[in-house]
Amino acid sequence: MITTTQNKQIKQIIKLKKSARERRKQELFLVEGIRMFTEIPEEYLYKVYASEDFYNEHRVIFEHMDVELVSPQVMKEISDTMTPQGVLALVKMMKYSLEDLLEQEKPLFLVLENLQDPGNLGTILRTGEGAGINGVIMSHDTVDIYNPKVTRSTMGSIFRVPFVYVDDLLEVAETMKQKNIITYAAHLNGTDYTKEDYQKGTAFFIGNEGNGLTDKLTDKVQKKIKIPMCGKVESLNAAMASGLLVYEARRQRQGVD
């Protein structure tokens, strides 16, 4: 059992928890909690750590696994939550290709520019999975999807929704146009989002929480749409807006009234 945070493995985990650069360097990220742990695809599982009490109580989920036991104090140090459940895993990063995503027939995408809130990004993945999206495409300055707060809020969707980071969303928008994927910018000066047809290849572009999409990207996207607001509310947060848009697309594609 590991009982000290000076242990080499524990130091590595703490680095992975705190640093996106370290996660990219090692191509590993952290997953904790029983629900997320049980959703990790076997081929991505790298290393498992558990407290002794948790291990003894949940032996069945650890069958055929090598588990490193750690003391409660060590688990608290490596955990990203206030009250650790008692299990944490190192997981290999998933690898997807933009080219493969764009080759799908009549795809539905969310394209995110400079989103910064981890909870927003995690919720967007989770909601997107529920609506049946084909992938999430993000600008390189969007929050790290492997941030522990993001992975936790995906509730497992990170293992099932393809995603890529790109250097140039302007180029992505142009490529989508060439592939007959209609691009829509969520924008205050757009038309009512319920008046458009999303039954063909569709990509919704969502901007930064505070500033929205940049003017350059807005001008590149084919159509501007908005979610009508009552009262004095100007806009919804990125996750809520994304959810409404992708579920409207799903409604149209399923022919639901």
pLDDT tens digits, residue range 66-80?
A: 999 999 999 999 999
143: amino acid identity, one letter: V
The residue among 134 and 232 whose pLDDT is bigger is 134
The sign of the dihedral angle between the CA atoms of 96, 134, 240, 178 is positive
Residue 77 is classified by DSSP as H
Residue 126 has pLDDT above 80, yes or no: yes
pLDDT tens digits, residue range 168-218?
A: 999 999 999 999 999 999 998 899 999 999 999 999 999 998 888 999 999
The residue among 10 and 233 whose pLDDT is bigger is 10
Are 40 and 83 spatial neighbours (Cβ–Cβ below 8 Å)? no
What is the predicted pLDDT for the residue at 231? 86
Phi, psi of 238 (to 5 degrees): -60, -40
pTM for the full predicted model:
0.93
CA separation for the pair 61, 231 (Å, rounded): 50
Walk me through the domains of the chain, giving residue ranges and CATH numbers: 8-92 (3.30.1330.30), 98-254 (3.40.1280.10)
